[in-house]
Amino acid sequence: MFKKILIANRGEIACRVAETARRLGVQTVAVYSDADAHAKHVRVCDEAVHIGGNAAKDSYLQWQRILEAAKATGAQAVHPGYGFLSENEEFAQACADAGLVFIGPPPSAIAAMGSKSAAKALMEKAGVPLVPGYHGDNNDPAFLAEQAQRIGFPVLIKASAGGGGRGMRKVDKPEDFVAALASCQREAKASFGDDHVLVERYVTEPRHIEIQVFGDTQGQCVYLFERDCSVQRRHQKVLEEAPAPGMSEARRAEMGAAAVAAAKAVGYVGAGTVEFIAEELADGDLRFYFMEMNTRLQVEHPVTEAITGHDLVEWQLRVAAGQPLPAQQHELKIHGHAIEARICAENPDANFLPATGTLSVLRWPAHVGFARHAGAAPAQDPAPVRVDAGVREGDAISPYYDSMIAKLIVWGENRAQALARLDAALRDTHIVGLATNVAFLRRVAASPSFATADLDTALIERERAVLFDAPGLPLPLAAAGVIAQKIASEQALESADPWSKRDGWRIHGTARRRFDLQLGGQHHVATLERLHDGALRLAIGGEQWPLVTRSLGDDRYDVVIGGERHTLTVYLVGERVAVYGAHGSQELQEIDPIAHAGEAAGGAGRLTAPMPGKVIAIHVKPGDQVTAGQALAVMEAMKMEHTISAPRAGVVTELLYAVGDQVAEGGELLRLAE
Ligand code: ADP
Ligand code: ADP
Ligand code: MG
């Protein structure tokens, strides 16, 4: 086994590889860009080498610098992860030339599978079924248009060098073909530096089913069953599971054999995935076609680890070190069911637009790291929840890399149990600070199609109505969360100092308190009343509910509103409040009405107090010239200080109150002229 390896990647996969290496006693070297100087993967590795600027081309794709880093640190092998250099045969060759072991297949196997066209030609020879199409060298537009006619519309034009769901065009009718071809070739040239394309039949509502294969240097090759990755958006995977629902033993063996044949045809060594597209025939049977082979560890490998009990990164390291495969085909068994959800910084409602920002709150459900039982078949069940994350709370998601921030993997004795655990795990995943797809994933998992395993690549489109623009937590519940948090934080202050009792709030018979909440661009006023018997009543827009709140610790609150009991988790991030309930979440802003009073009244030159309070400071006098944003006065209300700032530049013409004065709601504090 190696003493030290370099991990030529970042994010969750770099952390995940490091975890297995550590367990095996192998030291790790991280590489990082400027933006990743403080990233988790740098922290979890034993050593780290800076390799360049933020853009991938200046760092994670700079293979000369990566090789130098390996030499300088004495690493014996390089793990490329996925993406970046993982399927670059020149890099694999350069590693070999530098005396380093590339933890992946031989360069010749990468090259053979690197072009989708060449791979299809090769698979045809090996007798693996293909999607009907044209994958030859002739890329003349008129010729390809003719081929499309022969195949039959709709067709799919694919960049031979494409990947990551890019470089694909579906064409529905002959008159659109030439324009779609030109556009596909432009994208292919720009993204992959190669405009060669293939044309194949567009399979309507297919399933994506892939087989995990593993080869060793002794010429053995096995398959570790299948994964269903049909749930996709923009040809990219969203949820993946193993085994594939509805797969018969006979079909599994047949597909496994086809995948092993594909791997053997290129002298495959290490982890690889043979991707198939499956079409359901009229009689309900499935027909499979080879699509492509990914010559690396896949993003979704954890579901295979969960059902087989094997650590695939350990297998990769052992095989790269020249050891035989840790298990023979007959020793591999499927145990239970696993589902993975890719958690991405993106906004599903804005066409999955990637998001950047700071992970102000990042809370995971109770979980463990990678599969904890490598080696032989599982003696015990895998952990119900696994989280592979490349980030920690407080980290930023930068615009330079992939939007995937973590993977949530669940295991169950059967699909129903895995699904229930997925729902609970997504419910308990709280990310505040930027847009994520967590709530969307939960809705996908709960959608009728996914719940009943009616899987195909059109699932998200079919379930649109229940997936997008879903309402979050209802306003009264969200407001109750804000109030529960506020009461608890004020009580915490009180108990620390017996003289700080909020008497105005407690002793008088009835006390009222107003909360100005902003939700989805709308302003709402929630009024909380304390009745004579001490009970609370919440009123919003003419409706009211009795309210009881109690802190449970860890940002959690027990809230009974209108007789209904809820457990809410509430996070305060600056002015924003994120409230999580069992059925959804909501992000609100609590507006300080006094601080914002000037904004509303600004135009009229009046600065009014929308809330009763006391003037505790005045910073200006009549005749003073003030600039926009300048602090004019300070008011105290609800034991909080609120600064009243000038909404625009102007001259103070009149002060209407003095320090110490009590101001009624709506009272005009001072006047400002242009
Ligand atoms: P990539 O290299 O981007 O992963 P693939 O060839 O694996 O490209 O295709 C990605 C996805 O596109 C598939 O998972 C499937 O959803 C869809 N797709 C690919 N080929 C076809 C086809 N012939 N008909 C319909 N959908 C297809
Ligand atoms: P998987 O098949 O393992 O799910 P993906 O297709 O999602 O993998 O790709 C894994 C990672 O590699 C993603 O970050 C994706 O954006 C990236 N990727 C895959 N193929 C390419 C490629 N040819 N060019 C650039 N990035 C790619
Ligand atoms: Mg693919």
What confidence score (pLDDT) does residue 280 get? 86
Ligand nearest to the CA of 404: 2
Mean pLDDT of 617-643: 81
Q: Which of 207, 227, 233, 296 is catalytic?
A: 296
Residue 227 a catalytic site member = no
Report pTM: 0.86
pLDDT in tens, 220-277: 999 999 999 999 998 999 999 999 999 999 999 999 999 999 999 999 999 999 999 9
Instruction: Tell me which residue has its CA closest to atom 12 in ligand 1.
Output: 235
Q: Whose CA is nearest to atom 2 of ligand 2?
A: 298
Better-scored residue on pLDDT, 592 or 318 = 318
Residues 263/213, Cβ–Cβ less than 8 Å: yes
Ligand 1: distance of its center to the CA of 562 in Å?
50
- Residue 324 to residue 304: CA distance in whole angstroms: 20
Which ligand 2 atom minimizes the distance to the CA of 404?
14
Q: Ligand 2 centre from 82 Cα, in Å?
A: 7
Pocket of ligand 1 from Cβ distances under 6 Å = 131, 156, 162-165, 200-203, 206, 208, 232, 235, 275, 277, 291-292, 457
Which three-class secondary structure state does DSSP give residue 645? strand
Return the best residue to mutate from 82, 230, 231, 401 for the ligand 2 pocket (most ligand atoms within 8 A of CB): 82
Rounded Cα gap, residues 451 and 467, in angstroms: 14
Q: Rounded to the nearest 5 degrees, what angle is found at the Cα of 582, between the Cα atoms of 459 and 304? A: 50
Sequence-separated (6 or more) residues with CB below 8 Å from residue 51: 31, 32, 33, 59, 60, 62, 65, 66, 69
Ligand whose nearest atom lies closest to the CA of 119: 1
Rounded mean pLDDT of 284-299?
Answer: 93
Instruction: Please give the backbone phi and psi of residue 672, each rounded to the nearest 5 degrees, phi first.
Output: -130, 135
In whole angstroms, give the CA distance from residue 455 to residue 448. 10
Q: In this structure, which ligand is nearest to the CA of 167?
A: 1
Q: Which ligand is nearest to the CA of 191?
A: 2
Q: Which atom of ligand 1 is nearest to the CA of 133?
A: 23
- In the reported structure, the alpha carbon of residue 294 is separated from the centroid of ligand 3 by a whole-number distance in angstroms of 7
Which pLDDT band, with edges at 50, 70 and 90, does 458 fall under? Answer: very high
What would the pLDDT profile of 387-424 be if each residue is shown by its tens digit?
999 999 999 998 899 899 999 999 999 999 999 999 99
- The residue among 391, 401, 317, 390 whose CA lies nearest residue 354 is 401
Per-residue pLDDT, 499? 58
Rounded CA-CA distance 98/2 in Å is 16
Is residue 7 within 8 Å of 31, Cβ to Cβ? Answer: yes
For the chain, what is the mean pLDDT?
Answer: 91
More confident residue, 369 or 273: 273
Atom of ligand 1 nearest to the CA of 202: 24
Centroid of ligand 3 to alpha carbon of 268 (angstroms): 18
**Closest ligand 1 atom to 204 CA:** 25
- 209: confidence class by pLDDT, cuts 50, 70, 90: very high
- Residue 548 pLDDT: 96
Q: What residue's CA is closest to ligand 1, atom 1?
A: 163
Q: In whole angstroms, how large is the CA radius of gyration of the chain? A: 30
User: What pLDDT band is residue 634 in, cutting at 50, 70 and 90?
Assistant: confident
- Residue 25 burial by CB count (10 A; 0-12/13-18/19+): exposed, middle or buried? exposed
Q: Tell me: the pLDDT tens digits for 104-133?
A: 999 999 999 999 999 999 999 888 899 999
Instruction: Looking at the CA of residue 83, tell me the nearest atom of ligand 2.
Output: 12
Q: Evaluate whether 409 touches 340 at the Cβ level (below 8 Å).
A: yes
Domains of the chain: residue spans and CATH: 4-103 (3.40.50.20), 132-201 (3.30.1490.20), 210-230+243-467 (3.30.470.20), 475-597 (3.30.700.30), 606-673 (2.40.50.100)
Q: Which residue has the higher pLDDT, 127 or 152?
A: 152
Please state, in angstroms and rounded to a whole number, the distance separating the CA atoms of residues 285 and 287. 7
Task: Band the pLDDT of 666: cuts 50, 70, 90.
Answer: confident
12 lines ligand 2 (CB under 6 A): no
Q: pLDDT at position 366, please?
A: 85
Find the 163 Cα to ligand 2 centroid distance in Å: 6
Lowest-confidence segment of 42-56, 289-303, 519-533 by average pLDDT: 519-533
Assess contact for 313 and 215: CB atoms under 8 A.
no
